[in-house]
Amino acid sequence: MTTDDTSAAGLDLTVSCGYASDVGLRREHNEDSLIAANPIFAVADGMGGHEAGEVASSICIRTLGESRIAGHPFPDLDPDELQELLVHADEQIRAETGGRAGTTLSGTVLVQETGVPYWLVFNVGDSRTYRFSQGGLEQITVDHSEVQELVDYGRITPEEALTHPRRHVVTRALGTGSDIDADFWLIPAAAGDRMLVCSDGLINEVGDEQIFDLLASIAHPQEATDALVQAALRAGGRDNISVIVVDIAGDAAES
């Protein structure tokens, strides 16, 4: 676990996080990569097989880690600049893998705008970012997947999507040669917030109700992270599992 006491533009916050990545019980390689270094917390789930997905996800996370926002608490960052960074990551993946691999990416950056802290959430693909706050769990990101489109069009129910044969097919990814069309959300950050960033290896094994119960009952972010990973393993562990839990405490905006 990491804990940072940070201040910027009059903000006094304590940021704590836990993180873990597990190969699971069925896969030979872990194609997930993550970064959990205030102010950026993100999970990339690589695709391509034969270790190519691992290369794609690691390039993506490396690009984020080498950017100007890494290690600088509460950067003044807007979605346009973050979009440019994701385009750069996409270019790096394609250059280094020859278009043989891609990766999803989901996460959040703890930013400030005119002295007010915000979560800048971003997403490409079907990894997810949730917010646990004031006793409720909210899925912030929307999956870029074939089954999510079918749900949106009313052709299948959310329950049917859980077992649909094409539930693993994503419609957006980095490194695949298509235009990078990321989604962004800017959400006021409040003391007591808990953010969850995870790959689909968690959400395909553990339902939202169980995720809520674990986040609500375990105060320590690393212990909560480990409990989520163990729950996914007990449920089958059919994919790589990556989890980040981020807590903030102190003076922040009212939600």
- Reported as a single tens digit per residue, the pLDDT across 111-125 is 999 889 999 999 999
pLDDT of residue 50: 60
- Residue-wise pLDDT for 159-183, tens only, equals 777 777 777 789 999 998 877 889 9
DSSP alpha helices (H): ranges in the chain?
52-65, 79-97, 146-152, 158-161, 200-203, 208-217, 221-234
- For residue 166, the 8-state DSSP code is T
Low-confidence ranges of the chain (pLDDT < 50): 5, 7-9, 254-255
> Using CA atoms, how far apart are residues 224 and 218, in angstroms rounded to an integer?
5
Q: Which domains does the chain have, with CATH numbers?
A: 2-250 (3.60.40.10)
Element (H, E) at 220: none
pLDDT of residue 255: 42
Q: In what side-by-side order are the strands of the sheet with 194-198?
A: 2-8, 11-22, 241-250, 194-198, 128-133, 136-139
In the structure encoding, which two tokens stand for residue 179, read together? 């235009």
pLDDT of residue 6: 54
